[in-house]
Amino acid sequence: MEPVLTALGFLVLINIAAFAAFAEDKRRAAKGLWRISESSLLTLALLGGWGGAKLAQRRFRHKTRKEPFRTALNSIPAVWVILLGVIWFTGVRP
């Protein structure tokens, strides 16, 4: 049960971090300050913070029309499904 709790804890924290990063980037954009890189935002989403990133994107109306960022962010769940499918069908288990 401990690995499951650890994984859930990680997912909660990475989603909070992704949400906060999007919020901070929006704040910096509004003030004309140095921005958080798109690669950093996408990395947080790819590491498991996609839900927090997507929630922040909608909540703050941030990077909703920016291509190819929008497509990359929206593709992350497909990447995870493919990865999990490969793991499942190859029999590789953690």
Asked if the model's pLDDT at residue 62 lies above 70, the reply is yes
For residue 68, the model assigns a pLDDT of 95
Per-residue confidence at 53, pLDDT binned at 50, 70, 90?
very high
C-alpha 36 chain-centroid distance: 14
What pTM did the predictor assign?
0.87
> Which tokens hold the place of 45?
């989403």
Contacts of 21 (CB under 8 A, 6+ apart): 36, 40, 41, 44, 53, 56
Residue 37's SS3 state is coil
DSSP letter for each residue of 44-72: HIIIIIHHHHHHHHHHHT-SSS-TTHHHH
Q: What percent of the chain has pLDDT over 90?
A: 76
- Is the pLDDT higher at 17 or at 89? 17
For residue 93, the model assigns a pLDDT of 63
